[in-house]
Structure 1
Amino acid sequence: MLALKAISFSLASQALSSGTTFVLSMYLLSVMSPEGFGLYNLAFAAILFLAGIGNALFLTQMVVLTPRKKVDEQKEYARRILSLLVISCFFCSVIGGALGFFAFLLEFKVWGFLTGAIAIATAGYVLKDFYIRYAYINEREIWVFLINFSNAIFLALFFTVLALLNFSCGVSEVLVVFAASQFCAAYLGKFLTEITPLWKIKKIKEDFKEAWAGGKWDSLTNCVYFLRTQSHTLVVGALIGSAAVAKVNAARIFVSPVTILIPGLSQVFLPRLSKISAQGTLVQVEKLTIKLCILLALLSLAYAALLFFVYEALMSLFSLKESYQGIGWLVVFWMVYVFFMAINSGLFLAVKALNRFKYQAAVNSVSAAASVIFSFCFCSFYMEAGAVLGIVFAEVVALSALLYMFRKSDLKSK
């Protein structure tokens, strides 16, 4: 039985994280031009993609493999994983800096600044996420709340300073502020957990090989998942244009709190599912997975009901009615997407806990292909709404594939 206190702090921290992202997105939507906001979305998508690879290679593996380590070795193991993460962030920053330098040489100054800002923001994002994952492993949900709270405070503080100094909110400036808040939150995580890198090269090499066994499949899953969830952006941009991309992403912002809350809440359960799986009690894994899927589905429905009552107020509050007219139906389609995504998140979590990353990659590959095909076909007839409907159908395909695997395959065999 999960402790009520742990669940309360987890819900509070994830609600805080979702609320922070929502308020930030709405603020940027109101102060940036549609073109600038569209470019920000592309840059942020790049950050999520790169951070997702880091999560897949190291952090998810840390969560899954830690319960299989001896108790007195777990802290040292986490420190070595942090070392691997620091090395990865360093190389990411070097590559980003080199690309930015070449962009300057070619007189693409905007892309030069943007590339460097993306690299730095990715490093901060991943390091902050490390301490959040470590806190969840040790069931210190209050640490997660404090880290997310500090991130929200620093974001608000930095943007307030920019406003007082009359700085324009360009894409590069926004990303630098985002990176600064992530690093500050990561530093608080270091203070709370007392975890610093441990440079035992031989052990680090062994940890990398162990993490790579499942991480290579989870990284593939991340790449495919990116295509699966961002195909609407690529299709709309190619068939209609950047203005339509801004319109679709503006509608998506209204469901962003719950789309962030659901995967975040799943992090609470993954360490526990991994421990149960390591003990060989697969029946308990199934029971907890079913409860989680029901909880996440109900959460998505509750959010949809809340959004129905506050949608018009939010449009007026952030002065969006003139620039983004007619996105109501897009918001409805996004909520349908969230419902199926919520159920799939619970099922994918069980696949991770059972250390079956190959199956996860297979399901995401099929779903990604369906997402591209459906989005392209529907967008050709129904414009922006068709692209969103395409990824809704892709989630249905993913759900069908997951249920089939649980019933027919050797997914549960150890």
Structure 2
Amino acid sequence: MKTGLLALSAFLFATTASLAGDPGVTDTEIKIGDVNIMTGPASFIGRAVSVGSKIAAGEINEAGGIHGRKITIVTEDDGYIPSRSFQALTKLIEVDGIFALNGTSGTANVLAMMPLIEENNLPTVVTTAPNELVYDPVRPSVFTIGASYSDAFYGQLKYIHEKMAPAEPVYGLIRQDDDFGVAVEHGYDRAIKEFGVKDAARIRFKKGTANFAAEVAQMKQAGVNVLANGGIIAGAANILGEARKLGMDVQVASVWSEDMPPSVNLTAPAGYDFLVADYVALSGPAIESFMEKAKKYASAEEIAAMNRYTYVTYIGLKALAEAMSQCGKELTRACTVEKLRGLKNFDTGGISAPLSFDNEQQLSGTALAIYQLNAADKTFKALTDFVDY
């Protein structure tokens, strides 16, 4: 009898393992991890990301899930601190047993998690930090949605050069002294070389800098009238505030984080109708349709917290779900990675350009639309359709 029970236990274990595949999968559930900025000054980004995953999971689960398995999102806070990102993902893998990862925080944060992602062949969709350092070199299980900061700034400066530039343009760059800032400067440098314009000043600052009086005064003295503003949120607002104090007449290219309502509330008082380039729609039928879905799966408070990061995380989980669905009932990480790698022209409903990861960098959603702020009413208008730069 003992032998029979052992044999039966072994059979049941083997059957369950066969059905479950890799960690994070049972016959009823798929656990998707989310490492995010849920506390601290940038927590409004993390909350928006989490809402995007929640809406996508709700929609997928209501439609029957992935071959009967419902998606569960497991979120860990990293406070935007890379060392905490590593710890958070360690917990998600070792304690929660996630199958894949959809929330990846900032650039330095996802880079800190890369050893764990690679070691576990963890299917990962990067939706918040499309920096070149994330996909170059390519990691086999990592798929990135979004244009690079480099292309975003190049695209804006190209539009300014061709459509808006003063008769004698003088360019200037101010950017963070980190990996993000390096990417911004790559786009700026590309524009300077291609357009043959005057490069008057390049200034770096430490992350967390609040007073930019000296830096902006240097820009003013150099005669800058086209500014690549590589500050983020409060930093970007403080830079523009100083420019207004000095009476600078300047065309401004900004990071896509500056099209979020909290950022606009900080920057609009300076009165500059700055540009942003974004790889997701900010308005129009696609966003109207998304907002209707959101009402079904998110609370009024969560909807109020949504921004562009909500949209991109939503399409990230939808793409991941499509790949998992293609694997059938025998779901594994290896199969999911393979199906993501073959994903082509996945329709996002107009939230972004269609997604295709069938390229050497496993990168998609790179097409950008250029938008301009109306500082008076804090709205953005589209200046271009989605374009690859």
Give the TM-score taking structure 2 as reference length: 0.27
Higher helix share: 1
Q: If you compute each CA radius of gyration, which structure gives the higher value, 1 or 2?
A: 2
More strand by share: 2
Q: TM-score, normalised by structure 1?
A: 0.26
With a CA cutoff of 8 Å and minimum separation of 6, indicate the structure with the bigger relative contact order.
Answer: 1
